[in-house]
Amino acid sequence: MITFNKPHLCGDELNYIRQAVLGGGISGNGDFTKKCQKSLQEKYGFKKVLLTTSCTDALEMCAMLCDISAGDEVIMPSYTFVSTALAFVRQGAKIVFADSRSDQPDIDADAIEPLITARTKVIVAVHYAGVACDMDKILDIAKRHKLLVVEDAAQAIDSYYKGRPLGSIGDLATFSFHETKNITSGEGGMVVINNEHFMKRAEILWEKGTNRAQFYRGEVNKYGWMDTGSSFLPSDITAAFLYAQLKSIDDVQARRKALWNKYYTTLKPLEKSACFALPVIPDYATLNAHIFYMVCGSLEERTALIAYLKSNGVQAVYHYLSLHKSPFYKHLYDGEELPCCDRYADCLVRLPLFYDLTFGEIEHVCNCVRTFYAMHILQSTISAAIINSEIK
């Protein structure tokens, strides 16, 4: 079976973990945590980075920093992972879901402004598959309505918008280092703070509501309980694993992009005749090769394709379900239909993509897709001929 994902080891993970253990400090905010944060800040120009145990935790920190409380409204796409919404729901927010773009799953920036009310406080831009949202439009809307912008960049490490690294544009941003991501620590994430207003408080929330980080730097002579917060920081063992991955990020990205391009160039000639859609990368965005997906013509077609690929040794998977139709939130949703979101929920399928995937395996996957659609087109032609003959 060609699995959908396989975590890649860059080579120094166990060595760095050993160093962390022998160094005697394996709790949070240790040496490797600091190395990771410094590396990310220097490479991408983030103003402040704090590692977290997950992207979910990073999002929860953002909701706290934005002072979300009961009745506040937060606009975000419905086509996203549950954590994007959950972090703000836990603080009491009403989630106002926006539709996706018709050509790719990012939030439709033109759909945001009509959703703004006097209660709106935050816009969350989710960079699906590492492809940038239209940040100029989103920032303009936020500025005119005095709203905060949070980038959910869980999938967007090493991706850019008009030359600016994703995660460096909004007031706050979050990233994931889950094992399915380009750079991984098994579980893990980070919060990026670009707005000076949140700098000091972010560190306090991160350290269980205390100013312990300041104490360790010698900035205060004792530390105490200063604010709300939680234990958001990961073990330094996790950070040691991540540091090995970060040191190899350029190699990882080059390999993933080569694999992504192999998929694209192989399947592109088939796209029009088979009536599926391949990923669209807007002119303002770059590719970070996190996901390679296809958008099928219908739910039935996608289901059949996944089953056919599985029967030929390929694990392909669908992605998000529409959050506004979820069992938890559907009774709270009072907005309009979101047809583009629902289309991706029903029709998008992700093909295997990971560092150790071979070009030969991609050829096999693409040949399976080609064969499936050849049969699908033939069946459609026969069905149409039968219908026409019956009409006559």
- The closest of 271, 287, 281 to 366, measured between CA atoms, is 271
pLDDT digits (tens, 9 = 90+) for 278-334: 999 999 999 999 999 999 999 999 999 999 999 999 999 999 999 999 999 999 999
Instruction: Say yes or no to pLDDT of 391 above 70.
Output: no
Tell me which of 248, 272, 298 is where a domain ends.
Answer: 248
Instruction: Say yes or no to pLDDT of 83 above 60.
Output: yes
CA distance 171 to 191: 11
Instruction: Say yes or no to pLDDT of 347 above 60.
Output: yes
Q: Are residues 255 and 231 in the same domain?
A: no
- Asked if 364 and 308 touch (Cβ cutoff 8 Å), the reply is no
Predicted confidence at residue 390, as pLDDT, reads 58
Q: Are residues 213 and 288 in the same domain?
A: no
Taking the CA atoms of 138, 143, 145 and 148 in sequence, report the sign of the dihedral they define: positive
Q: Are residues 78 and 129 in the same domain?
A: yes
The residue-averaged pLDDT of 90-97 equals 97
Q: Are residues 156 and 215 in the same domain?
A: yes
Asked if residue 255 belongs to a domain, the reply is: yes
Phi first, then psi: give them for residue 186, nearest 5 degrees.
90, -75
Q: Are residues 188 and 333 in the same domain?
A: no
Q: Are residues 224 and 282 in the same domain?
A: no
Query: Which residue in the block uniquely carries the two structure tokens 């909004």?
Result: 170
Q: Are residues 259 and 313 in the same domain?
A: yes
Asked if residue 136 belongs to a domain, the reply is: yes
Q: Are strands 172-176 and 120-126 parallel, antiparallel or unpaired?
A: unpaired
Asked if residue 7 belongs to a domain, the reply is: no
The residue-averaged pLDDT of 197-218 equals 92
Instruction: Say yes or no to pLDDT of 275 above 90.
Output: no
Q: Are residues 149 and 60 in the same domain?
A: yes
pLDDT digits (tens, 9 = 90+) for 234-258: 999 999 999 999 999 999 999 999 9
For helices 299-311 and 339-347, the axis angle rounded to 10 degrees is 20
Tell me which of 203, 232, 248 is where a domain ends.
Answer: 248
Q: Are residues 156 and 89 in the same domain?
A: yes
Residue 301: its H or E element:
helix 299-311
Q: Are residues 207 and 299 in the same domain?
A: no
- β-partners of residue 191 are 50, 174
Q: Are residues 232 and 303 in the same domain?
A: no
Asked if residue 227 belongs to a domain, the reply is: yes
- 326: CATH: 3.90.1150.10
DSSP 15-29: HHHHHHHHTT--SBS
The boundaries of the domain holding residue 276 are 250-391
Label residue 216 by pLDDT band (50, 70, 90): confident
Domain count along the chain: 2
The residue-averaged pLDDT of 131-136 equals 98
- 122: CATH: 3.40.640.10
Q: What is the reported pTM?
A: 0.95
Asked if residue 309 belongs to a domain, the reply is: yes
Q: Are residues 90 and 168 in the same domain?
A: yes
Predicted confidence at residue 287, as pLDDT, reads 97
Asked if residue 5 belongs to a domain, the reply is: no
Tell me which of 213, 233, 248 is where a domain ends.
Answer: 248
Asked if residue 2 belongs to a domain, the reply is: no
